[in-house]
Amino acid sequence: MTAELFLIAPPGATPEPINAAIRTVAARAEIAALLLPRRDLAENAYKSLVRTVVPVAQAAGIAVLIEGEPGLVRTLGADGLHVTGGIAAVREAVAALKPDLIVGAVAVETRDDAMLKGEAGIDYILFGPLSGAISESQREMARWWAETMEIPSVLSDPGAGIERYDAEGCEFVGLPLSAAGAQP
């Protein structure tokens, strides 16, 4: 099985370079999703980023996932929510957005947390960091999940590239937008 690409926008990138990178990468590879992490962006700056990037990504057939409150997904025209909080935040997002929109969650270091989030009805679970180096324990969690669970998994490996990565059996591999061959 070949993992599908799940690209992650870098911190501090502005809409124009992200959109240029999307066009470049989409011309060379099929991209399943693009995550626009909020990181330290102010609310209005983040909303502006999302509003500018969503139409370009969606025109290329890419699902756009954002962070924040469930209500922002519909307001900003995104395809889904990437939940970074605990199980209460996951349940709130699932109740507000499913079945029409995507709800994914980040896993922490325990199998119990991952299973609780999976049982809540998410569409995917992400293992690994959005930036920095992935740890061996995160890789192991991703392998375990991919081997035993039906809910799709994303292995986020910021150090890998589009030509060289090991998805550890996961359905998606999370790569920085820059690793896909374009500089946002």
One DSSP character per residue, 105-161 reads EE--S-HHHHHHHHHTT-SEEEES-SSSPPPHHHHHHHHHHHHH-SS-EEEE-TT--
Sequential pLDDT tens for the chain (184 residues): 589 999 999 888 899 999 999 999 999 889 999 999 999 999 999 999 999 999 999 999 999 999 999 999 999 999 999 999 999 999 999 999 999 999 999 987 799 999 999 999 999 999 999 988 999 999 999 999 999 999 999 999 998 877 778 888 999 999 998 765 555 5
- Return the CATH number at 27: 3.20.20.70
> Quick one: tokens of 105?
């969650």
Q: Are 128 and 174 in contact (CB under 8 A)?
A: yes
* The pLDDT value given to residue 159: 87
Instruction: Report the distance separating Cα 82 and Cα 106, nearest Å.
Output: 7
- How far does Cα 178 stand from its chain's mean position? 15
* The pLDDT value given to residue 109: 75
Q: Dihedral (C-alpha) 62, 54, 161, 82: value to the nearest 10 degrees?
A: -90
Backbone phi and psi for residue 66, each to the nearest 5 degrees, phi listed first: -120, 170
* The pLDDT value given to residue 12: 83
Backbone phi and psi for residue 140, each to the nearest 5 degrees, phi listed first: -65, -45
Based on the structure, what is the number of domains in the chain?
1
* The pLDDT value given to residue 180: 58
* The pLDDT value given to residue 184: 54
Residue with tokens 């996951």: 90
First to last CA, the chain: 29
Sign of torsion, CA 20 155 31 53?
negative
- What is this structure's pTM? 0.94
Classify 64 as helix, strand or coil.
Answer: strand
Instruction: Report the distance separating Cα 67 and Cα 56, nearest Å.
Output: 18
48 lies in which domain range? 4-180
